[in-house]
Amino acid sequence: MGTYNVTPATALDYRRLAEKRLPRFLFDYIDGGAGEEISMAANEKDFLRFSLKQRVMCDVGDIDTSTKLHGQAVSMPLALAPVGLAGMMGRRGEVQGARAAEAAGIPFTTSTVGICPVEEVQAAVRQPVWFQLYMLRDRGLVKALLERAQAAGCETLVFTVDLAVVGMRHRDTRNGMMGGGLAGSLAKAWQIATRPRWIIDVGIKGKPHDFGNLREVVEDSRDLDAFKAYIDTQFDPTVTWKDIAWLRTLWKGQILIKGVMSADDASAAADVGADGVIVSNHGGRQLEGVASSISKLPEVVAAVGERVEVHMDGGVRSGTDVVKAVAMGARSVMIGRPWVWAMAARGERGLVDLLEVFRQDTAIAMALMGVTRVSEISRDLIEM
């Protein structure tokens, strides 16, 4: 039986299906990283440096994977990370992601540069979604986006701080994702033409294909090149922690700082009023050569774990990865690529199924480690 005819079970199964379904430039946008993609690969590989301790003859008849994140009850220590352009990977992809997350009982984070505006995403679910934002040069726009998100019902802000400049993403250049002139346009057209299912489901039925949160400020937010030109002028390399302090005065809910990779930065985030930090190297898409997220997690936990909630993003592909991160001090992990792969391959149903696999895998790992509650997962259960 061929690879694509079997029932997908793991995140990598869905990756293979997504690769078959998506135009190449879209698949590589999700799948690729910065430079030679060494840091991206390390995010996954470094989980192999840590082993779980197996314990037997324990009463594990009542496993409970649930926990709380910033006061919100969740079914497991997992949240869906913000992913730009998700609505190009599946029909109204951000909405599908939010619905699947709600069905699974975990948070969904919608991106500033998503296809669906925050109002559309929030209207599709009952639970408040998390809203991700960058610090843009136009502080008036930042303030307006915060007001929109709060008006829509969002209570948690995920603020990304590791995008002062955009990393070198060679796959996007090769496939004509951004720019490339006539050759790039022809390359994208050919890639789209070879994916008829995507054309019908997303290209036709998934309109409008603009950046919903920014359609009022980008002259043609449906044009990727025009949007890139606008965004390139808006990422602000002058941002400091003083700007985050200003942000704290505007946002009344929880603020999580995403992109923290050192004890010093974690402490600075806590000092300016953050409620949590997310240890993340942007999925290996920014600084090539930086350490993996999982390898920096203990340092951050030691620095601020008693002051704020510490989460981790990058390289998580299974429930055992979730357990390893929690054992090393994370309150939860975030997944980006896996949820988009599943949604692109099998839609909302596929993502619900994948999240259930994550939950079951987490529960099984806990049982075989001799613990029944997330709070019992500790550093003592990790071997190096």
Q: List the pLDDT tens digit at each of the 384 positions of the chain.
A: 344 567 999 999 999 999 999 999 999 999 999 999 999 999 999 999 999 999 999 999 999 999 999 999 999 999 999 999 999 999 999 999 999 999 999 999 999 999 999 999 999 999 999 999 998 889 999 999 999 999 999 999 999 999 888 889 999 888 877 667 778 888 889 999 999 999 999 999 999 999 999 988 887 766 766 776 777 777 788 889 999 999 999 999 999 999 999 999 999 999 999 999 999 999 999 999 999 999 999 999 999 999 999 999 999 999 999 999 999 999 999 999 999 999 999 999 999 999 999 999 999 999 999 999 999 999 999 998
Residue 1 lies in a domain: no
Neighbours of 30 (CB within 10 A): 23
CA distance 316 to 324: 10
Q: Looking at the 3D structure of the chain, how many domains does it have?
A: 1
Whole-number pLDDT of residue 172: 87
What share of residues in the chain are helix, strand, coil (percent, to 5)?
50, 15, 40
| Bridge partners (DSSP) listed for residue 133 | 159
Whole-number pLDDT of residue 45: 98
Whole-number pLDDT of residue 219: 73
Residue 330 lies in a domain: yes
Q: Do 112 and 132 meet the contact criterion of CB atoms below 8 Å apart? A: yes
List CB contacts of 174: < 8 A, sequence separation 6 or more. Answer: 28
Residue 69 lies in a domain: yes
Residue 215 lies in a domain: yes
Would you say the C-alpha torsion 199, 26, 128, 325 has a positive or negative sign?
Answer: positive
Residues annotated as catalytic are 282
| Bridge partners (DSSP) listed for residue 235 | 136
Whole-number pLDDT of residue 89: 97
Whole-number pLDDT of residue 1: 37
Q: Which domain holds residue 320?
A: 8-375
C-alpha triplet 281, 287, 290: angle, nearest 5°? 65
Residue 77 lies in a domain: yes
Residue 128 lies in a domain: yes
Whole-number pLDDT of residue 230: 75
Residue 383 lies in a domain: no
Residue 351 lies in a domain: yes
Q: Do 337 and 31 meet the contact criterion of CB atoms below 8 Å apart? A: yes
Burial class (CB in 10 A: 0-12, 13-18, 19+), 228: middle
Residue that is written with structure tokens 């070879």 in the block: 194
How big is the chain, counted in residues? 384
Helices within the chain (DSSP H only): 11-21, 24-31, 38-45, 86-89, 93-104, 118-123, 139-152, 170-174, 181-193, 196-198, 224-234, 241-250, 263-271, 293-304, 319-327, 337-369
CA distance 228 to 54: 49
Q: Do 94 and 111 meet the contact criterion of CB atoms below 8 Å apart? A: yes
Burial class (CB in 10 A: 0-12, 13-18, 19+), 189: exposed
Closest by CA position to 318, among listed 10, 4, 93 = 10
What's 159's domain CATH number? 3.20.20.70
Would you say the pTM of this structure is higher than 0.85? yes
